[in-house]
Amino acid sequence: MSSPKQQLSHMVYFTLHDASAPKVQELVAACHKYLTGHTGTVYFSVGTLNRTLTRPVNDLGYDVTINVVFESREAHDIYQTEPRHLKFIEEQKPNWKQVRVFDSDLVSA
C-alpha cells in the first residue's frame, strides 16, 4: 500500500504600500482571478486583516492573506511557475511593501 501524498499549506501575508480599501479589494479580486483553480489545489481562501482582534499575540502587520493547500509539494512547485501565478505577481507586486510566505507540511489527525 502506498503512503498518501504530503499536503502542503502555502500561506502568504501581503503588506501594501497603499492599504486603502480600494487597493485592498483590488488585491483580493486579483487573488480570486489568478490564484484559484490551479491543478493540485485542495483548498484556497483569501482574506483581509481583522482589525478588531488586537490581543498581544495577534500580528497586525499585513493587509491581505491567502491560504492555498496543495495536494503535494510537487503541485506547489508547479503552481510557482504557472503563467497565471506569474501574471498575478507582475500586476500586483508594485503595491507590495512586504510579502511573508509560510509553507508548512500538514499533519492530519
Question: pLDDT exceeding 90 applies to what percent of the chain?
Answer: 94
| Nearest of 76, 59, 53 to residue 15 by alpha carbon | 59
8-43 pLDDT per residue, tens: 999 999 999 999 999 999 999 999 999 999 999 999
CATH 3.30.70.100 fits 8-105, yes or no: yes
With a cut of 50, say whether residue 105 has pLDDT above it: yes
Pairing of strands 96-105, 8-16: antiparallel
Cβ(6)–Cβ(95) under 8 Å? no
Cβ(62)–Cβ(14) under 8 Å? yes
- Segments making up each domain of the chain, as ranges: 8-105
Q: Is 109 exposed, middle or buried (0-12, 13-18, 19+ CB in 10 A)?
A: exposed
